[in-house]
Amino acid sequence: MTQQAKITFVTGGSGGIGKSACARMLAHTLGLHGYRTGLVDGNPGQQSQRSYLRIPDSKALEYAMV
């Protein structure tokens, strides 16, 4: 049986409306319930998720070796 990944996007208009916080809470809650989650910040100039989670630039997705 093949399983399909479900993808959820958190989007909105202007800054400061809670998109990043909502995405973090959603990923965290799904993880607590046993789902494998990945959190990707789509704003390469800001990277608020990486900053909030204190992930060093050396561990950034754009520097990953494939």
Per the CB < 8 A criterion, the answer to whether 30 and 10 are in contact is no
| Averaged pLDDT score across all residues of the chain | 79
- At which residue do the structure tokens 């809650």 appear? 29
* Model confidence pLDDT, tens digit, residues 27-54: 889 889 998 888 877 776 677 777 777 8
pLDDT of residue 21 exceeding 80, the answer is yes
Let me know: does 20 contact 48? Beta carbons within 8 Å. yes
CA 50 centroid distance within chain: 9
* Mean pLDDT value of segment 15-30: 86
pLDDT of residue 2: 65
Tokens 């990043």 sit on residue: 20
Q: Is the pLDDT of residue 65 over 70?
A: no
